[in-house]
């Protein structure tokens, strides 16, 4: 393989890894939001239904009763849980695609610690045997 195709493969692999990280971040964000909704719902379901509460709708804080707000919070919570499940499925598929791509092109990812250890070992006079073929990221 020439240098251009090596670089293309590396770039494509890095993009795939970035997509995996973006999906993981979305999952974390939605899980935090679901925890908040869960706490609110748990608090409201044990509260008198005629009691006044406030709900943020867009950028506006509106006054409602617990009876009006509780079902909406529960609905939002259920939708968040479904969204998180969908993202987890998408994440699994994307991780499998990335792993298959890595195996197909024999890509070896090294952590910063591994690179530093090898640099120190090589600086100390040790020579490691080169591994055959593959792309190093």
Q: Tens of pLDDT along 62-119?
A: 999 999 999 999 999 999 999 999 999 999 999 999 999 999 999 887 776 777 788 7
Taking residues 50-62, report their average pLDDT: 94
pLDDT of residue 127 exceeding 60, the answer is no
pTM, to two decimals: 0.79
Among 3, 6, 15, which residue's Cα sits nearest to residue 107?
6
Q: What does the mean pLDDT of the chain come to?
A: 89
The Cα–Cα gap between 81 and 37 comes to: 10
Q: What's the pLDDT score for residue 8?
A: 94
């Amino acid at each position: 393989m020439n240098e251009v195709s090596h670089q293309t493969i590396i770039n494509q692999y890095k993009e795939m890894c970035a997509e995996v990280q973006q999906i993981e971040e979305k999952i974390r964000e939605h899980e935090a939001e679901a925890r908040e909704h869960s706490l609110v719902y748990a608090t409201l379901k044990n509260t008198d239904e005629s009691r006044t509460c406030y709900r943020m709708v867009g950028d506006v804080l509106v006054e409602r009763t617990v009876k009006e707000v509780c079902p909406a919070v529960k609905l939002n919570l259920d939708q968040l849980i479904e969204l998180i499940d969908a993202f987890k499925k998408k994440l699994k598929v994307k991780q499998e695609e990335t792993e298959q791509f890595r195996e197909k092109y024999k890509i070896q990812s090294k952590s910063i610690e591994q690179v530093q250890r090898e640099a120190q070992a090589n600086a100390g006079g040790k020579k490691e045997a080169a591994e055959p073929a593959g792309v190093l990221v």
